[in-house]
Amino acid sequence: MSEELKKLLEESHEEITLFDFDGKPVPCIIFNEKKYDEILTKVAGKALSINTDLNILQDGLGHVFVEIILTFSQAGIQEKILVNANQHLEFFQSLAKTTMLSLSSPRSTYGKDNVFMIQLPKPEKAQEALAIIEDGLAKSK
C-alpha cells in the first residue's frame, strides 16, 4: 500500500450514514458535537447558500476518495470532509438521487429534530460525480 493511500485512509471521515427523511435515504455527515454546534451557531437565522464541491481523487487501481467541500455564504465557514467512496458508495448514490445532504451530530442519533438539511445547488454535479466514482471503483474488479 502506498504512503499516499495510507494517508487518505487515515484522513477519511468515518461518520457517514444515510438518514431516513420521509422515506428517502438522504446522505448524512456526522460531526462531533463541538463542530456541529459551531456550524449551527454561525448559520442560525441567516439566509445563506451552501456551495457543495465534490473533488474526486483516484489512483486508477480502484481506490476512490471524494473531498466534499461545503462553503457557507455569509457565515465564514468552509468544511472539507474526505470520504472513502469504496466504503460509502451508497452515500454518493443517494446524494445523486435525492440531491440533498444532511449534517448531524452523534447526539441527534439521526433524529429529525437535530439535522441540518442542504439542497444541492447544482444536482447534475452529484450525478456526474457518481458516474466518475463508479467508473473508478470498477477498475478494482
Query: Cβ distance 140 to 71 under 8 Å?
Result: no
**Beta sheet of 64-72, edge-to-edge order:** 50-58, 64-72, 77-84
pLDDT of 13 reads: 96
pLDDT of 110 reads: 47
pLDDT of 56 reads: 95
Q: Which helix (H) or strand (E) holds 36?
A: helix 33-43
Residues of the chain where predicted confidence (pLDDT) is lower than 70:
108-113, 141
